[in-house]
Structure 1
Amino acid sequence: MASKVSVVGNPKSRFWLFHLDHGFDLTHPSSPDQAPSGRRIKLPTTTMPVTVAPEKKALVIIDMQNIFLSPTMFGKVRGEGHEAEDTLLRTGIPAARNAGIQIVHVTWGISEKELHVLPPIIFRIFRFSETENDEPGGMKEVESDLGVGVDYGDVKLPSGSTVSAGRLLMRDQWNTALHNPLQQEFDKSQTTALPDVRFHKSRLSGFWGGTTPCIEYLKEKGITTLLFAGVNTDQCVLASLQDACNVGFDTILLRDGCGTISPEYATKMVELNCRKSWVFMSSCYGLENGVKSMETL
């Protein structure tokens, strides 16, 4: 006997389909009774597989910029963010391109107008750091001369040349440019049929406030499912994923496409909640395998 197909959501508006043998169908047909059609990718997750339509899906990469990944800033050493970048370049991005999935970079890029209305918390995040105090296990905050909008000065590149890093987190500065390997990939895409796009943000989340140019772009293109990657997993990636989910997008975290400088427990918290509360969790390798076995009905 065939397993029953259940409707998850409102069949007259937004809904998924669930089949015990096949998992969740996130292709968003016009009605629950509509026969499956078009290109379909089955993506493994940490619970049940999900089926998505590549033309309704985007790979959203958060904050993979020089300020967070370049070794020339803040004494950066190789870490999770660089490993995530490598995985995206090796697996996630090629898989997305092969399937015709839109790639979207959402990154810090504060305008002068936005700088004057930023809430204090944004300044605190980037101007203060924690250090131990005299109390056992206690911490205190120390203020830095640097912060949002402050000129970082010149930095020396691996080539030996120097460049002005510019004002921290401000738009059109070297420190807010995409990290070079991703910038090269972005530039190459501009001559293709589906060029990468980039949107600026001025908060931890790139999907806050109900609507943004990014949200408007995605909705205009009919994109309903977002695959999230980037840095930091527990900060800007999670904030963006949560807000996108609340706006109404189907959200999937690509765990091997994310990295953070936070303790391991922070990542575990994100991954635990992305298994259900914030929809699904998969991987770049899962995406690659799903694209390889993509079917057309």
Structure 2
Amino acid sequence: MATDRLKPMGSHPANRWRVDGTRADLSRAERKTVRAVELDAQPQTVVVDAHRSALVVVDMQNDFCAKGGYLDYRGIDITPDRAPIAPLQALIPVLRAQGVPIIWLNWGVRRDLLNMYPSLPHAHTQDGEGAGLGERIPGGAAILLKGSWGAQIVDELNPGEQDIHVTKHRFSGFWDTELDSILRNMGVCTLFFAGVNADQCVMTTLEDASFLGYDVLMLRDCVGTTSPDYCMQATEYNVKLLFGFMSNSGALINGLRP
């Protein structure tokens, strides 16, 4: 039977049937062939399939990375959290041109905070003083409230129309979100991690990704943290020892070159 008469059914080519009234083709023949990409990494050189990879950019939001945001309001130097901006500006267009999905994984809390347990607000204002999650900074926006200025991606990074957005309300982007379902539907098995803070939301998401069976690489120049240096050192150590690999944007760009 001619397959050109079958209609596609499914939101992504990697997981799409083709059907008509008498036949359902479940072979997923639209899957792309392997695009092997080799890149320098630690503890070993890595070969990945670009057609089954995605970049996950975590929390590059105004509240963490912009003047007038939550961290700035708290008097924290946001320079380390802004460091990933320039390498991401160089990397993201290359990945888009190669068809590698860009996933923006961002905080966005409910106004009523009904899915927040006490430990999470406590992590953001331990003495209960000052503005906390979902509350308005004096003269500014509500902290990490979904749809607020603080929850928006920084102006220097421009999401594309085909990019994917996932909202989270925990440090890990896999907890109680649709991220895992999206990745599996797209046939993704390798994740490159970028964003802030490297030792907190990036790391917990990377850990959960590893536990769920994804191959994980942290791009060192594309992550940042306002934590002490030893936190970043421990993060790198544990990524290489327990979960996956450390690499950088230059190695990935070089690996993608024909």
Is the TM-score greater than 0.5? yes
- Could you report, residue by residue, the CA deviation over 1:85-126 in whole angstroms, capped at 9, with x for unpaired residues? 111112x2123123211000100011246x113121110111
Give SS of 2:150's match.
helix
Q: Indicate whether 1:95 and 2:61 are aligned.
A: no
Deviation at 1:81, TM superposition (A): 1.6
Superposition deviation, residue 153 in structure 1: 4.1
- Paired amino acid for 2:130: D
The question of whether the paired residues in 2 share the 8 Å contact of 1:62 and 1:229 is answered with yes
Unmatched 5+ stretches in structure 1: 1-36, 129-141, 156-164
Identity within the alignment, %: 32
Q: How many residues align?
A: 222
Amino acid in structure 1 at the alignment position of 2:96: R
TM-score, normalization: structure 1? 0.71
Distance 1:111 1:70 in 2: 22
The reply to whether residue 207 of structure 1 matches residue 182 of structure 2 is no
1:275 is paired with a residue of what secondary structure?
helix
Summarize the alignment of residues 63-74 of structure 1 with structure 2, pairs less than 5 Å apart: 63-73=59-69, 74=73
Is the Cα–Cα contact under 8 Å of residues 34 and 50 in structure 2 kept in the other structure?
Answer: no
The whole-number CA distance in structure 2 between the counterparts of 1:242 and 1:71 is 30
* Counterpart check, 1:54 vs 2:50: yes
Q: Single out whichever of 38-47 and 59-68 deviates more from structure 2.
A: 38-47
Match of 2:236 in 1: 271
Q: Choose the corresponding residue for 1:244, options 209, 221, 229.
A: 209
Task: Note if 1:176 corresponds to 2:141.
Answer: no
Q: What does 1:18-57 align with in structure 2 at a 5 Å threshold?
A: 38-57=34-53
Q: Which amino acid aligns with 2:35?
A: R
2:256 counterpart (269, 284, 291):
291
Backbone CA RMSD of aligned residues: 1.6
Letter in 2 for 1:63: D
Gaps of at least 5 residues in structure 2 are: 1-32
Q: How much does 1:236 deviate? A: 0.5
Q: Can you list the C-alpha shifts for 1:228-248, whole angstroms capped at 9, x where unaligned?
A: 010001010001100111111
**Match for residue 129 of structure 2?**
144
**Conservation of the 8 A alpha-carbon contact between 1:69 and 1:76:** no
- TM score, norm. by length of structure 2: 0.81
